[in-house]
A and B are shown apart, each in its own frame.
Chain A
Amino acid sequence: MRIAFISDIHSNLEALKAVLDELDKEDISLIINLGDLVGYNASPRECVDLVQERQIISILGNHDLAATHLKFAEGFNILAYQALVWSANTLLPEHKRFLENLEDTRVLWDRYLAFHGAPKNPDAYIFYLFQVKKAFNYMRKKTAGVRIGFFGHTHKRAFWQRDVRGKVSSLDIQAEPLLLDPEQMYLINPGSVGQPRGNHWEASYLIFNNAPERVEFRSAAYDLHSAQAKIREAQLPEYLAERLAAGV
């Protein structure tokens, strides 16, 4: 079975459509969205509609939560806050109902864990070794049998491994498929569909093959100018349009 993992779509319909178009050319059984479907960009309704229409399994992200309950947006900076208020005003009640009913963490087939920032905490980040170790420890103690965790939130691709001795290391991300060792644990971030921050503008996603276990980090070009034009039309902060081109 081949599963696509996407994350941090952030209301970028053009990027989401481009990724789905690419996935439609593949033999994909399931698409899993690791959270932050809305925020920042200008097509929140369309993205929520499309994710539901395509029956994409979605996880709750911190922007999803904040767009449905603005009290959770108070800690966001004024650029992100502006986009959240705009999203909250744009989303229809049925969109908000969909978002607020999302789970923050999900175990798939008793083997894989999907979450947004950190297990049970969409706000927390997994960037550094100590954060990675904490997430691996959670998986070992709370989700026995789970070896691979998929997460988002940072908008950057990541590929961490924990070997049988407990040594944790960051692995290089390559263009070609990467085979996973069945004896080891992994934490994998596919990067962001709608606002990549790895100094590249293309939408990032990941394809996971479960037998044998293998991951492929992919990216898709999309209509950047259209996404930027919508941000400007919505009178969202100009920086949110500019950053898409810079990949920051």
Chain B
Amino acid sequence: MKTYQKECKLKDGSTVLLRPLVAEDREGLIAFFQSLPENLRLYLRHDVTDVSIIESWTENIDYNRVFPVLALEGGRIVGNASLHRIPFGWKRHIGTVRVAVAPDYLDKGLGTLLVHEIVELAAEFGLEKLWAEFPLDVPAALAVFRKAGFSSKAVIEGLVKDLRGRNTDVVIMVCDIGSQYGF
């Protein structure tokens, strides 16, 4: 694992290391998700404050199903993006992207960097489409995904509920990897 990482520069000139999640990241990942304020956890799919959920991720790593990429600064996890794949069926050519960035790393281009990395990995895996969905009222996320080659495909009004039970609109964005890389 020593060289299984890549150093990348952020907008402010600082650097982060990108590498896949490994089992030894349990503590760091727990600390990362517990550091996210509630407003950033509102729309996550899992209760990331539950240690057993994080443990289930670090103990059951299967890169063929979920390829998680961490961004680290000085050993601290500051960002997490994952590429989710379904090996069989009608969605086998589609990957789904999820991304979370530490509050002190917002506006540094880390989200864009992570989503770009997922797009490149999706191409490497031979996926044809990437799918992302998130609340419409997060313009920063829209900008991040647009920069990485995604375009908005649908807005579904009031579809989901946040952790406080409020209905909110969801935007679905798709990146056509096939048209970029010729699949």
Do the two chains belong together in a single complex?
yes
A contacts, CB < 8 Å to B: 74, 76-82, 85-86, 89, 125, 127-128, 154, 156, 197, 235, 237-239, 242-243, 248
In the complex formed, the residue of A with least CB distance to B178 is: A127
Assess whether A238 is in contact with B121, with CB atoms less than 8 Å apart.
no
Of the residues B117, B121, B126, contact of A248 by C-beta under 8 Å: B126
- Answer yes or no: B76 CB below 8 A from chain A CBs: no
A77 touches B4 (CB 8 A): no
Contact A79 B121 (CB under 8 A): yes
The reply to whether B3 and A82 form a contact with Cβ atoms under 8 Å apart is yes
Contacts of A85 on B, CB cut-off 8 Å? Answer: 3
**Residue B69 at the chain A interface, CB threshold 8 Å:** yes
- Contacts A82-B4, A239-B125, A248-B126; is A77 near B117 (CB within 8 Å)? yes
Residue of B4, B6, B125 near A74 (CB, 8 A) is B6
Among residues of B, the one whose C-beta sits closest to the C-beta of A248 is: B126
The secondary-structure label for the interface of chain B is: mixed
- Residues of chain B from 124 to 154 with CB closer than 8 A to chain A in the complex: 124-126
Starting from the known contacts A85-B3, A89-B3, 15 additional A-B residue pairs (CB-CB under 8 Å) come to A74-B6, A76-B120, A77-B124, A78-B4, A78-B5, A78-B19, A78-B117, A154-B182, A235-B1, A237-B4, A237-B63, A239-B63, A239-B64, A239-B124, A248-B125
Q: Interface code B56-91, partner A: CB below 8 Å = 1, 0 otherwise?
A: 000000011000010000000000000000000000
Contact of A78 with B63 in the complex, beta carbons under 8 Å? no
Interface size on B, residues (CB 8 A): 22
Complex contact A127–B63 (CB within 8 A): no
Indicate if the CB atoms of A127 and B181 lie closer than 8 Å: yes
B18 sits at the interface (CB 8 A): yes
> CB distance A77 to B121 under 8 Å?
yes
Q: Does B8 contact A (CB under 8 A)?
A: yes
Interface contact A238-B126, CB-CB below 8 Å: no
Which residue of chain B has the shortest Cβ distance to A238 in the bound complex? B63
Is B182 a contact partner of A78 (Cβ separation < 8 A)? no
Q: Which of B1-57 contact A (CB under 8 A)?
A: 1, 3-6, 8, 18-20
Instruction: Chain B residues near A127: list those with CB within 8 A.
Output: 181-182
